[in-house]
Structure 1
């Protein structure tokens, strides 16, 4: 009974959004100065007033690609929020105490070690830029210390393939959102894609005639072409025919509620986490990477060489794949006995 009420409440909220969002869009066009109560706009450069040339510097001088820019913008917004909360409105007032306070607050278990290290790297670049532009009298970048962590200290967050099946089975494929979510989860589990790679997949990346799937601009800077799995292809076709809203956007996966914009990588992570928890599976930091890790582990258990697995999922270095050896007990035994040279 309680579960039925929750479903009913979610459905009412969804219907409300479907009604309100088009009205808000109409009011924005018809009423001058109308802002509404939608999601607040996130500025591309949260420090536009004091560092207006930052984004141009990152793209033109640092040569950052769009996916890296998203990471930089996310970390910079986190830093801007922190400064606002502690009452710092002038970047010239930045100090070692302020910087160390941000790193201490922005640390595990709230986020992963890799996220903290990325934020530290972004902050260092930002501080060097501020010094170059004369905003800071001294270069404070060396004061940002990377937190001590060990690359292979953690165990990948994989689940068994039977549990992956449970996750997929828990998706209601009768609804439009369910058709979309099922296709996304199939891509994550079958190819070990990253959330951003699913979110940015376009109609042009699927070659139906030759049954090929192309993943462009990967984290390693390369492009990977996969055979299009029959099951994955069927899931995508079902969504395109009976779930995807009418739109001129080329991205495959769209938001269900108007305005129908392409789905973001954070939403892919969130949907994966939702279905993992719905299946009753307990795993640290549930999300899309759990399915990615599970894909890698399945290939490893099938005795594929680590080099081939790394190429398959787009790892930038062999060390990214070698961590899975920590839980490949049977293969480690083969290596110890001298029968597993092809694994390393």
Structure 2
């Protein structure tokens, strides 16, 4: 089964072109499933049936795994079986018609406009690191791109004269996202006075660099963000996606149409973007309750 998993992962990379994070999640989930099958009797994949899959999902649930984790595991298993069926490693797909557990859609946490303004004031732009950090935070809030997309940006992906960036999202899909004036100014100052002093290899095209002159990682950015959140005394439970959620919510609150926000966020399905409409409604109710004299 280990060899089949490797072949399946190669198929996802080469033929399906899935994002690296998705591929790694599938790999981990399928290795976990393989270990489960080994534990309950070293069952070959060709001899597995519906009850084995259900037993595995129940074990995940009993271990306290989140519904979203169980659902993702089932998606990986289902895709794996479909691949095996297509290439005739099996004659029947035991995952067929298995329903994914219903996931309660929790509204994402967002910052208020005042909290965002305060956060963006935190970097000390008299320092090289501060110039970089200011540029990153302004860019994230101006575009709503994912942190993985932020750290993957190269210099040539940014057009300050025209006011846009080009980024590669999930499924290797390219999209163009406009920049605001404050983001353009911050990125320009970083390029002129910050990056030139950070870069260790002049041929390196990475936009955002760490103190060693190498491309900044997601983990590196996460540490930076947490530092500024603490400095700004923001008590919201921050995640790397918080500025992305705030970007989308603030756009919709100020009259942006859903399709435009979907395109800027890079969502394949507009239903993913619609969660922000629920969020804006929830915020409107909260404002009404706090401000209307007869609420």
TM-score (norm 1): 0.64
* 1:43-192 superposed matches below 5 A: 49=3, 51-61=5-15, 63-65=16-18, 67=19, 69-80=20-31, 88=39, 92=44, 95-96=52-53, 97-102=55-60, 105=63, 107-108=65-66, 113=68, 117-130=71-84, 139-142=93-96, 145-150=99-104, 153-173=105-125, 176-192=128-144
* 1:245-324 superposed matches below 5 A: 245-246=200-201, 248-257=203-212, 260=214, 262-284=215-237, 286-324=238-276
Do the aligned partners of 2:144 and 2:245 also contact (CA within 8 Å) in 1?
yes
Partners in 2 of 1:224 and 1:199 — Cα distance?
Answer: 16
Q: CA deviation at 1:157?
A: 1.5
Equivalent position SS for 1:72: helix
Q: CA deviation at 1:84?
A: 5.7
With over 3 angstroms needed to count, the CA separation of the structure-2 counterparts of 1:298 and 1:132, relative to structure 1, is closer
Alignment deviations for residues 153-203 of structure 1 (CA, whole Å, 9 cap, x no partner): 422311111111222233344555444333222211111111121121111
With over 3 angstroms needed to count, the CA separation of the structure-2 counterparts of 1:312 and 1:121, relative to structure 1, is same
Q: CA deviation at 1:297?
A: 2.0
Alignment deviations for residues 257-289 of structure 1 (CA, whole Å, 9 cap, x no partner): 47x3x33345444543453344332334x2221
Q: How many residues align?
A: 275
Unaligned runs of 5+ in 2: 286-295
With over 3 angstroms needed to count, the CA separation of the structure-2 counterparts of 1:175 and 1:250, relative to structure 1, is same
With over 3 angstroms needed to count, the CA separation of the structure-2 counterparts of 1:316 and 1:107, relative to structure 1, is same
Equivalent position SS for 2:255: coil
TM-score (norm 2): 0.73
Do the aligned partners of 1:205 and 1:213 also contact (CA within 8 Å) in 2?
yes
Do the aligned partners of 1:206 and 1:214 also contact (CA within 8 Å) in 2?
yes
Q: In the alignment, is residue 242 of structure 1 matched against residue 197 of structure 2?
A: yes
Equivalent position SS for 1:141: coil
Equivalent position SS for 1:253: coil
With over 3 angstroms needed to count, the CA separation of the structure-2 counterparts of 1:203 and 1:102, relative to structure 1, is same
Do the aligned partners of 1:157 and 1:290 also contact (CA within 8 Å) in 2?
yes
Partners in 1 of 2:143 and 2:98 — Cα distance?
Answer: 37
Q: CA deviation at 1:86?
A: 9.8
Unaligned runs of 5+ in 1: 1-46, 334-344
RMSD: 3.8
Structure with bigger helix share is 2
Partners in 1 of 2:81 and 2:256 — Cα distance?
Answer: 44
